[in-house]
Amino acid sequence: MIKFFNNPKSHPLELTLDGKIVIGTFEDEQKELSSFRLSSKFKERFNKLISTHGTKLDSLKDAAIQQQNGYIYLIDHRTPDGIMGNVPPEDIIGAFEVQSGSLVQNSYQANDKYQFYTKFGKPDLPPELLEMLKAKY
């Protein structure tokens, strides 16, 4: 669950994952999406978690079997045309290399253009990834 609370030390509103890790801050009281700033610490942890454990996600392993070779992209499910549609860069979380139907260990490439919040709203992470985040943090 994502929760909001006022940070008494620095006035902006913080967004947390179950109150355990600060995801980012809103720079205005109205929580306008355009004012949201992702925490560099969260971004680093988020990408490290995916890099370290992403190859264990059943959905990615199944996709790798079908793909055989190339890359599998981890997509934020909020993308307007669906994960098999025309996905804008800000909804692509990152990619894993695939060889011979298997995800290549240590091949994860985070997408620097990924945005945690967009004009289409809050993140809608793949369920397995969300569960992994909750378990870790």
pLDDT tens figures, 7-36: 444 434 455 555 567 777 777 777 777 777
Ramachandran region of residue 43, left (φ > 0), alpha (ψ -120 to 50) or beta? Answer: alpha
User: Which residues, other chains included, contact 16 with Cβ-Cβ below 8 Å and sequence gap of 6+?
Assistant: 2, 3, 4, 5, 22, 23
pLDDT given at position 66 = 96
Which element (helix H / strand E) includes 102? strand 102-103
Q: Give the tens place of pLDDT for each residue, 110-129.
A: 999 999 888 888 888 888 88
- CA–CA separation, 91 vs 79, rounded Å? 6
Residue 87 pLDDT exceeds 80: yes
Instruction: Please list the residues that pair with 92 across neighbouring strands.
Output: 75
Measure CA 62 to chain center. 19
Instruction: Give SS3 for 78.
Output: coil
Instruction: Kindly indicate the confidence band of residue 106, based on its pLDDT and cuts at 50, 70 and 90.
Output: very high
CA end-to-end span of the chain: 11
State if pTM tops 0.75: yes
Residue 47 has pLDDT above 90, yes or no: yes
3: Cα separation from own chain's centroid: 17
- The two tokens of residue 76 are 């934020």
